[in-house]
A and B are shown apart, each in its own frame.
Chain A
Amino acid sequence: MELTFLVVFLLVLLVIGVPVAFALGIASLATFVILDIPLVVAFQRMASGMNVFALMAIPFFVFAGDLMHRAGIAERLIRVADAALGRMRGGLGQVDIGASMLFGAVSGSAVASVSGIGSSLIPMMREKGYDADYAVNVSVTSAITGLLIPPSHNMIIYAAAAGVSISLADLFLAGVIPGILTGVLLMVAAWIVAVKRNYPRGAFPGMRAFFVAFAAALPGLVAALIIVLGILSGVFTPTESSAIAVVYTIIVAVLVYRSLDWTQFMQATTAAVRTTAMVMIVIGAAAAFGWLLALLQAPQQLADLLKSITENPLLLLLLINIVLLLLGTFMDMAPLIIITTPIFLPMAQDLGMDPVHFGIMLLLNLGIGLVTPPVGSVLFVGCAVGGVPIERTVRTIWPFYLAMLVALALIIYIPGISLWLPELLN
């Protein structure tokens, strides 16, 4: 009864446009009142949800990514991808995907990726005779690979939501192959569409040009290496490595690239503060909401419901993924990670799934939600950058959805794709 109230009230608040964090908070407070639990407990849950050391890496990741974007690292990564992939049929589409994967390794935010890579490549593609819908389709879907390729601040959110038992190093390693797999499948989809539409190919500039481009992008890529190697080796905590990445990026942008002035620096700082505030306030509110879900035994009830449909573990996993995909179409990633992890992770573990494997599946699944209407922040940004209405984009996006769904299915049913690398290095 109270559970129904909590969920229905939340949905009503979301539909009338109350910001997600406040909708979670208000629905929770109302339910606390009904259950006759002191409201001070609700605020204590919210505060302790934010009062977590591991979450400090989020502002640093976002800050470093935004600084790199403004320092012009995106253009340099595009040049690397262009030298390597530009000669293929529809080469710029391949370049877009390659550059997004590299950028994902640098920043780990899908929105930053589509605004960084897409804002350069979409106009470039239109100039060369590519259709605008294709340019946007490629840019938005390839940005999702950045969620899986480490570092990724959404992995930190997942690790925090799942409890202390998951090592961030394992998650980072587990994301590498799934991220590359998703990128490669998107490249196949982009290539098939490009052949059908007879898009032009670029010229191969030669190995020399490739190495020159690579060398120019190297200082940016080193920042990603600092974060990943720092965490994997245990020399730095995730928080420390991401803070070092910020300091390093500032030094590279100011001294090496000489491309960051005070105004841009303040813009990057503001953008990082804004994203952090958005994410953290959702994390806080979702902590109270999640506490209520657990109190009202939502995970068990949902598990019973799903098990009444099927007992087959493979079909159950499929059902979980369908529910997540549906939720993802109209809600943003961070709140969904925090709300759905405590609900579905125990079920998945019951089915014998490793929490690291579940996390990778969750990130890709919810990532697909970022490029699907009615609500998809990455799709929105891509359409705005490309100047294409959302309706026109989604009419031709299905080959790319298909590629991502194939990647998701492979990742769900072949645990080795995620778990082989962390097991190898442990």
Chain B
Amino acid sequence: MNDANSTLSARISRYTRWFACAGLMVMTAIIGWQVFARYVLNASPAWAEQAALLLMIWYVLFAAAAGVREGFHIRIAVFENSLPERAQKPVRIAGHLLVALFGLAMVIWGTELALATWSHDIPTLGLPRGVAYVPIPLAGLLIVAFSIEHVLALRRGLEVSGTWS
């Protein structure tokens, strides 16, 4: 298989993986601490559950963006694969462009959502509620970039090779 890895995008994808893995580990630690604190220290930390959820939203959105590059999202490939060879490429490119468009929408309206909710606080954390929405435009940006990378690679008859496994 030909390799169309732009080194920058491969690196971003790899960093995203480490960030997401660290997110899951910290999330485990936070909930573990919550149980320990409640039953051993007799003091339930009020922030723990909310913080873990916030962390999960962040790393899930970044991992989902990387999934666009790595191509691990659930999709139905049987119909596409049954198309004649010549028709496959334009269909694939169209699919990636649609995903890029969705990424763009995430950037625009995700930003709007984050700004609109910035003055409200998340209870128990004292952070602006908008913090929970910030990863939407950021992940959207990555999705746009990764989809376009796929399109460019396809046009040159190449494939983007994954970095996650």
Contact = CB atoms under 8 A, between A and B. Distances in A.
Partners in one complex: yes
Interface of A: 13-22, 25-26, 29, 39-40, 42-44, 47, 50-53, 55-56, 59-60, 63, 236, 239-240, 243-244, 246-247, 266, 269-270, 272-274, 276-278, 280-282, 330-332, 334-335, 374-375, 377
A281 to B, nearest CB: 4
A331 B17 CA distance: 27
Given A43-B136, A50-B60, 4 more contacts: A40-B113, A60-B31, A270-B21, A270-B165
Interface string B39-74: 000000000010011001101110110111000111
A243 B28 contact: yes
Interface residues of B, number: 55
B73 A281 contact: yes
19 contacts: A13-B95, A15-B79, A16-B80, A17-B91, A17-B92, A18-B75, A20-B75, A20-B76, A29-B102, A43-B133, A47-B113, A47-B136, A59-B27, A60-B28, A240-B34, A243-B31, A276-B24, A281-B60, A334-B74
B77 interface: yes
Contacts of B98: 13, 18, 22, 26
B99 A269 contact: no
B20 interface: yes
Given A18-B95, A59-B27, A243-B28, A277 B63 contact: yes
Contact of B72 (A14, A20, A59, A278): A278
Contacts of A60: 28, 31
**Binding site secondary structure of chain B:** helix
Contact of B35 (A40, A240, A266, A273): A240
Given A29-B105, A47-B113, A270-B164, A17 B35 contact: no
A261 to B, nearest CB: 16
B67 A25 contact: no
A52 to B, nearest CB: 8
Contacts of A40: 109, 112-113, 116
A-B residue pairs, 4 tightest by C-beta: A19-B73, A277-B63, A243-B31, A17-B80
B74 to A, nearest CB: 5
Contact of A273 (B21, B68, B91): B21
| Residue with the greatest number of chain B CB neighbours at <10 A, chosen from A17, A26, A42, A47 | A17
Contacts, number: 161
B158 interface: no
Interface of B: 17, 20-21, 23-25, 27-28, 31-32, 34-35, 49, 52-53, 56-57, 59-61, 63-64, 66-68, 72-80, 91-92, 94-95, 98-99, 101-102, 105-106, 108-110, 112-113, 116, 132-133, 136, 164-165
**Binding site secondary structure of chain A:** helix
A50 B75 CA distance: 20
A17 B82 CA distance: 11
B60 A276 contact: yes
A53 B66 CA distance: 24
B73 A16 contact: no
B95 A272 contact: no
Nearest to A46: B136
A272 B78 CA distance: 26
B76 A331 contact: yes
Contacts of B23: 273
Contacts of A63: 24, 28
A247 B32 contact: yes
Nearest to A245: B28
A22 B99 contact: yes
B26 to A, nearest CB: 11
Given A56-B52, A59-B27, A43 B110 contact: yes
Contacts of A13: 95, 98
Contacts of A273: 17, 20-21, 23-24, 59, 63
A273 B72 CA distance: 11
A277 B102 contact: no
A17 B112 contact: no
A275 B154 CA distance: 26
Contacts of B92: 17
Given A16-B80, A270-B164, A273-B59, A39 B105 contact: yes
| Residue with the greatest number of chain B CB neighbours at <10 A, chosen from A13, A243, A377 | A243
A335 B74 CA distance: 10
B120 to A, nearest CB: 13
Given A16-B91, A29-B102, A39 B80 contact: no
Contacts of B32: 243-244, 247
Contacts of B101: 26
Nearest to A241: B35
Contact of B102 (A22, A280, A375, A377): A22
Nearest to B80: A17
A20 to B, nearest CB: 5
Nearest to B117: A44
A17 B73 CA distance: 11
Contacts of B72: 274, 278
A279 to B, nearest CB: 9
Nearest to A375: B76
